[in-house]
Chains A and B, each alone.
Chain A
Amino acid sequence: MIRLPPFTYLAPGTVDAAARLMAEHGRDAMLVAGGTDLYPNMKRRQFEPKVLVGLRGIRELRGVRGSASGWTIGAATTLSAVTAHPGIARDFPALATAAGLVSSPQLQNMGTIGGNVCVDTRCNYYNQSYEWRKAIGFCMKKDGDICLVAPGSSRCWAVSSSDTAPVLWALGARVRLIGAGGERTVPMPALYRDDGIEYLAKRPDEVVADILLPPAEGWRSAYLKLRRRGSFDFPVLGVAVAARMDGDIVRDARIVLGAVASLPRPAERAAAALVGQRVTRELIARVADLAAGPAKPLDNTDFTHPYRKKMTRVFVARALAAVAGLQNGSAASEEVA
């Protein structure tokens, strides 16, 4: 039994009100939607907010809406609802897959897509009880000033552990942020920073309100996840591939890697090598080699980093084959290793 520390829970009825409350309470406040990640982290004293601004009561944050300009997913839509939505499953199978691979079915019923997009970065030296962290010496992500995975490093290397973020990035999604001073819509890459601590580039008062997906228009997508068990585990590697095909020629492509850095890591050279090409086994092998380049996992998740690096190549190749319709037999959307 680990107990939550005391905190004040505020339940605004609108996103604007939530943003104002966040601005008002400043660094003492955090946003919470499903709470599946935040509450356990609070129990371990990884976060110690005095105020939680709850998003569960805000109706405008829930639901999936389709239009000629694409799809809009309210940030507080549960992961189960995203997975089960027939329009999402049809247009963006990688997103439906990724949302359906987050943790366990129970947590997908509670957890939201906005929460998964903003999920805290993880590290074996950080996701531990307060006493454990105290015993080995606090790290810079919380209560300390050193990095235990890369001693001597001036930055934190905690790992982006979202399943949906790399997929949304690959699909060209944008996020609508509503802050106390107004709203803005930014592309997914603009939401993240390459830092294990300050991994989000949004202001603390900004609420992720919607996720905006462009029309599918010929895009195909796939997501593959590496983890030890068939359920429950965070990704220790995620590979999202999206490609717009014209027959068997690639017109446009994005490859984004999850869980290999403090933010989703695009493999831009690899994606560029696909464009204008006919997809063959040889091309896939070359692109997979290129894609594995930007993956720089460190030894701070389950499985060793050399293995995760090696698997990046394999998973990219398989995701590409799936998107190009070249896979033999198995349509597995997940790799449990």
Chain B
Amino acid sequence: MAHRIVGKPIGRLDGIEKVSGEARYSGDVMLPGLVWGKALRSPLPHARILRIDTSKAKALAGVLAVLTARDLPDILVGRRMFDMPLLARDRVRFIGERVAVVAALDPDIAEEALALIDVEYEDLPAVFDPVEAIKDGAPILHENPGAYDGAPSERPHPNVQSVLRFKLGDVEAGFRASDRVFEHTFRTQLDHQGYLEPHAGVVGIDEDGRVQVWASNKMPFRLKELLSQALQLPPAQIRVNLTPIGGDFGGKGSVMDLPLAYHLARATGRPVKMVMRYTEELMAGNPRHPAVITMRTGVSKDGRIVARRVKALFNSGAYAAFKPAPSVNLGGTGMGAGVYRISHLLIEAFCVYSNNIPCGHARSPGEPQMVFAGESHMDMIARELSLDPAEFRRRNLLRDGDLLANGHHLEHVRASETLEAALKASHWSEPKPGPWIGRGAAMTHRHIGVGFTNARVRLESDGTVTLLIALPDTGTGAHLVLRQVVAEVLGLPLDEVEIEIATTDDFTTDSGVGGSRVTHTGGRAAYHAAEKLKEQIQAEAAKLGEPASSLSAIAQAAAREGRTLEASHFYDAKAHGAVTSFTAQVAEVAVDPATGQVTVRHFTTAHDVGTIINPIGHQGQIEGGLIQGLGFALMEEMKTEDGQISTLSLGDFKLPTIQDIPPLTTVLLEDAVGPGPFNAKAIGEGSISAVAPAIANAVADACGVRILDLPITAEKVYFGLKDTERRS
């Protein structure tokens, strides 16, 4: 079906205000009397707090309040498991944990006051490595984690936060039935999401005693619930006001500093702004979990996977508080099965406490780690079997009707077509252009995000339509997509559909942004609301009896009778697990044998997608995810020694620059079978996870060096080459 506006490459309408500084983010919110909050953070990874002396800080001119845990209710916060104090009480568990908080007239005074707070600590034994943390006799971080609200019951060791399992068949029987069994262990690094806007928020208490919140948070209604718990206030007493979000990539779903800002606002009688410094983001944000993953796969002589067992240890840091899933684990763990039919499967993921920065969600949580391990493992097995890695994959790809470990039978499986499209576009079967050049392929697939969203559309008296929505735009262009959907349904030009950003007062609920759901849930809510409005408009037009009457005439006719043409829709999507979206990627790299330097010469990414609502935004998601994957693969790492992170600026924590980005070929296999509006699927998390293994496989193809731990730096490749030389 041809569309007028859906599918058109329309540029971002909020672009000008963002690049010109007009856009007002949470950190830009100013209110009369506003003061600034700043947190003092622990310099030690594990210590008892013996004494906190705030007297000098309190005496500093311009300081309005200094709070420690003793001044606050004994509340633990979290997103699902509530194990984190608002401020450390008696004990700190990671470097960067907040121990006191100050409100002052300006941020300089607040910083100065922090330096005047005297804290006496007594060191406690600490543990940093997840393998060490679950041994007998390891220092224990939380004496009774099972007692925390939201804590899962299974706990094989006190330092285990949660265990997540995916199971099919009988894995041990599968190994017995296998002709050969391969086992490899991989490690991935601690990695920040890299959003440019640090966590920022303003909390004020208005004349009616209501708590007004402006926050860089992507789930306003969940935030309201979490704040209600953290602040011990009825939800109705809290209003979350939406602002543009300067990048989320999974990391902006917690309460972070907001409860502290609230308590400072209570203590000072002023609205309080707290903006994390980037150094604080890098030492105490909620970055991607580092992982140690062991993959064990049994195969038959003819190269078919019979059984796989995956054990993942996620180094979760000092608190489980930042993980939102009911499992208090990472859903991406399921991708340990890859895109393959495996009859006998057991995946077990352990999130482990340690005296490190607490980790949280990052774009496709758990998947880049699992897919790096799984797709590197596939190539290593193919090499042992003397099979072309593409051929080994072909023999094992998922097909229609296959059962996934999450209980869904797949439909519309395009794994094979996606792989073949990537291979063709990357000239896989052609000779490589020279020595020290290699190609590597990797695949993944991803479910389409689900959740629930409210939308309301209203016909204005001038004939334009307003879409009211409580989904923040995290920088993806989601609002433009929603406007396109409404304009398409109503037959309007795009500029006659305005978007109005709701607050949490306007609706009762919304699952917010996350899990690649917005085009689906927001799009469908907007679609159905627009359909309802269209019916109202048609009915009104029929009453008027003039077929050609304009929308403004219709709106005004209704207004004369005291009516507004307005329609709402609440769209609630349950799991839609039968349809996923496949990704196949090929990296072509050159390895400099003298330096180990890896240059990605070309990258090919193929995606099995639904209807594309906005090709520019769609491509932006593909490229953004891919570049994030490239940083994860080649350069990003938060270097940590005994819990102390030393890469605390964007000079030392190395996100890719435009110089690091290879030429890209994108192949889109459109198939209108998605659950989104106009049969759209999801794209936000499809391109990130296979990048690292594609590059690792290409490096191995180019020079024989297999990198098992990310990132793939030149020095690792160089010393790998030297090892090879020594052995030969």
Contact = CB atoms under 8 A, between A and B. Distances in A.
Interface string A212-251: 0000000000000000111111100000000000000000
Nearest to B661: A230
Contacts of A230: 657-660
B634 to A, nearest CB: 9
Contacts of B658: 230-231
A134 interface: yes
B105 to A, nearest CB: 14
Given A104-B657, A129-B648, A131-B41, A1 B107 contact: yes
B715 A303 contact: yes
A287 to B, nearest CB: 16
Contact of A310 (B41, B279, B599, B718): B718
Contact of A302 (B43, B95, B648, B652): B652
A129 B648 CA distance: 8
B21 to A, nearest CB: 15
A3 B719 CA distance: 42
What is the size category of the interface that chain B forms with chain A? 20 to 34
Interface in A286-337: 302-304, 307, 310-311, 314, 335-337
Interface in B251-280: 275, 277, 279
B657 A231 contact: yes
Contacts of B635: 228-229
B651 interface: yes
Given A131-B41, A131-B43, A303-B715, A335 B657 contact: no
B624 interface: no
B715 A307 contact: yes
B714 interface: yes
Contacts of A128: 646, 648
B596 interface: yes
Contacts of B719: 307
Contacts of B185: none
B713 A337 contact: yes
B644 interface: yes
Of B599, B644, B651, which is in contact with the most chain A CB atoms at under 10 Å from its CB?
A: B651
Q: What DSSP secondary structure best describes chain B's contact surface? A: loop
A83 B187 CA distance: 42
A129 B592 CA distance: 36
B43 A135 contact: yes
A311 B719 CA distance: 12
B590 to A, nearest CB: 10
A135 B644 contact: yes
B597 interface: yes
A2 B279 contact: yes
Interface string B578-602: 0000000000000010111101000
Given A307-B714, A337-B714, 16 more contacts: A1-B277, A2-B279, A3-B111, A124-B646, A128-B648, A129-B279, A228-B654, A228-B713, A229-B656, A229-B657, A229-B659, A230-B657, A233-B654, A304-B715, A314-B594, A337-B596
In the A-B complex, list the 6 residue pairs whose CB atoms are closest, starting with the nearest: A230-B659, A337-B714, A135-B43, A307-B715, A231-B657, A337-B597
28 contacts: A1-B107, A1-B275, A2-B279, A124-B646, A127-B652, A128-B646, A129-B279, A129-B648, A131-B41, A132-B279, A135-B95, A135-B644, A136-B644, A228-B635, A230-B657, A230-B658, A231-B658, A231-B660, A232-B651, A232-B657, A303-B715, A307-B715, A310-B718, A311-B595, A337-B595, A337-B596, A337-B597, A337-B713
